[in-house]
Structure 1
Amino acid sequence: MTSLLVVLVGLLGLVVGSFLNVVVWRVPRGESVVSPPSACPSCGHRIRPWDNVPVVSWLALRGRCRDCGTSISARYPLVESVTGALFALTAWWLGPVWALPAFLYLAAVSVALCLIDVDVHRLPDAIVLPSYVVGLVLLGLASWNPGGTSDWAALLRAAIGAAAMFAFYFVLVVIRPGGMGFGDVKLAGVLGLYLGWVGWSSLVVGWFAAFVLGGVFGSVLMLARRAGRKSAIPFGPWMLLGAAVGLVVGPQLAEAYLGLM
């Protein structure tokens, strides 16, 4: 049953990844993700349904537009593949539980926000702000757990985690303007919601893992002379990666740290 779920959710992830390609391109430009239909940016021909099958169509077309032959970036099938893999791993990690939709949504949003932040150094409100509502509703459903034992304490932890991380990042922005943006503050609240729902150790580890990972990356760039102390480096991807560390191995890392102490 779990194997079938992983396969089906992975296939769903491929489809979602195809949609995320549209989101990543259009949302930063203030365009609708619904209309007009996808078209080749070079010749303007609309993409046919059979040329829009995730990964498969790109391979069949050998990475080129059917109408004008213009090269299609390999980023498109890569985003689809990564999203499919993340969905499958999430289903394998959680199994058939009520929390699964909430974390699949987080996986999809993470892919979109990572790419947008790398591209334009911005975390759009159009994606981040609705994530509060969607995350709260889906995690509320998971806490209710119809047919099982409800866990409303998890939802309370989620609210505390969201408020705490939002406040912490807000203070950082106030005391050091330019160090990070308010997009990071808003994203911190969303991540705190999920980390808090999983547990206190996940919240703490995911909270600080972002600074550790981002700091290591920045140090490597400076040592390689690819960046300086004042270089603008998007922090959103490291927040999301740090949250992933907290969600997956937060309790184990916290236990190992306490054991060393």
Structure 2
Amino acid sequence: SFANVCIYRLPRQESVVWPGSHCPHCAAPIAWYDNIPLLSFVLLRGRCRRCAAPISWRYPVVEALTAALFVQSIAAFGPSLRAVQSMVLGTLLIIVFFVDLDHFIIPNRVTYPGTVVGLLFTAALSGWRPAAGAAATAAALGGAFVLINVVSARLLGEEGMGLGDAKLAAMIGAFLGWPNGAVAILLGVFLGGAVGVCLLALRLKGRREHIPFGPALAAGALGAMWWGPGLLHWYLGRVML
């Protein structure tokens, strides 16, 4: 799938268009019939047709997640432009999730064009005034992360988060606007904190080890995209009791 191509090539500064899909072990081109999501992996029994090298389980996992994303988008929004927006943002978030998990980076080649595309979707769906609001949300969320970095560097002598996280927050804000963009960040903070505590408790990570925050932000954005208004209503109802 295209998401798998991006996950593999973007951290290596390779083109996602050329050359075509090929085996990372023997460099043999992959024929179209060996590149059908999920089905080809099963038919090939998880091995390259040419050299028989094992194919990473990451590939069918990403393909299954992408398929589930598309199904959920249609279920949530029906056959509409909003469903397409959901699919595009979800695909970008899947790419970010795995690249940051593996390499501790969030590629600018995802967040920069993603922010522009997010604003265009908002304009097409709601008009230019809401798009301007989404741009302000993107700037506010990205700026908040930059501010956290500055304060952390001054007080602790090290950055609290990478600038890639700030750019990702801005992209999420461009797609989701206010208040769903803020809901996405809050969900990401909660999920990231919960995962971090679990990793420390299980001694899978040390206190000084870096834990990528991009996957948590990506998961939070998916949750906010589909269930943001309901989550916000539930939270405000609890707070006001």
Residue 97 of structure 1, CA deviation: 2.5
Residues 225, 48 of structure 1: alpha-carbon distance in 2 compared, 3 angstrom cutoff:
same
Q: 1:170 aligns with which of 122, 143, 146?
A: 146
1:228 is aligned to 206
How do 1:1-261 and structure 2 match up within 5 A?
18-144=1-127, 152-177=128-153, 178-196=159-177, 199-200=178-179, 202-260=180-238, 261=240
TM-score with structure 1 setting the length: 0.84
Q: 1:148 corresponds to which residue?
A: none
1:31-56 CA-to-partner distances (Å, cap 9, x unmatched) read 11111222222222211221111111
- After TM superposition, give the deviation of residue 85 of structure 1 in Å: 0.9
CA contact (8 A) 1:23 1:112 kept: yes
Cα distance in 1 for residues equivalent to 2:231 and 2:32: 46
1:3: which partner in 2? none
Shift of 1:62: 0.7
Structure 1 stretches lacking a partner, 5+ long = 1-17, 145-151
Q: Check the 8 A contact 2:26/2:51 in 1, yes or no.
A: yes
Shift of 1:153: 4.7
Q: What's the RMSD between the two structures over aligned residues? A: 1.6
- How far does the alpha carbon of each residue in 1:11-65 deviate from its partner, in whole angstroms, 9 at most, with x for none? xxxxxxx111111111111111111222222222211221111111111111111
Aligned residues: 234
In 1: Cα distance, 2:233 partner to 2:150 partner: 33
TM-score by length of 2: 0.91
Given residue 193 of structure 2, which amino acid in structure 1 is its aligned partner? G
Q: Match of 1:156, as an amino acid?
A: A
- Kept after mapping to 1: 8 A contact 2:94/2:218: no
Q: How far apart, CA to CA, are the structure 2 residues paired with 1:159 and 1:131?
A: 12
Give the SS at the match of 1:26: helix
Once the two structures are superposed, residues 223-252 of structure 1 have per-residue CA deviations (whole angstroms, 9 ceiling, x without a partner) of 111112221000011111112222222222
Deviations 1:66-92 (A, max 9, x none): 122111112111111110110111111
Q: Structure 2: any 5+ residue segments left out of the alignment?
A: 154-158
Contact 1:99 1:141 in 2 (8 A): no
User: How many percent of aligned residue pairs carry the same amino acid?
Assistant: 39
Moved over 6 A (4+): none
Larger mean Cα displacement after TM superposition, 92-101 or 57-66: 92-101
Distance 2:144 2:214 in 1: 15
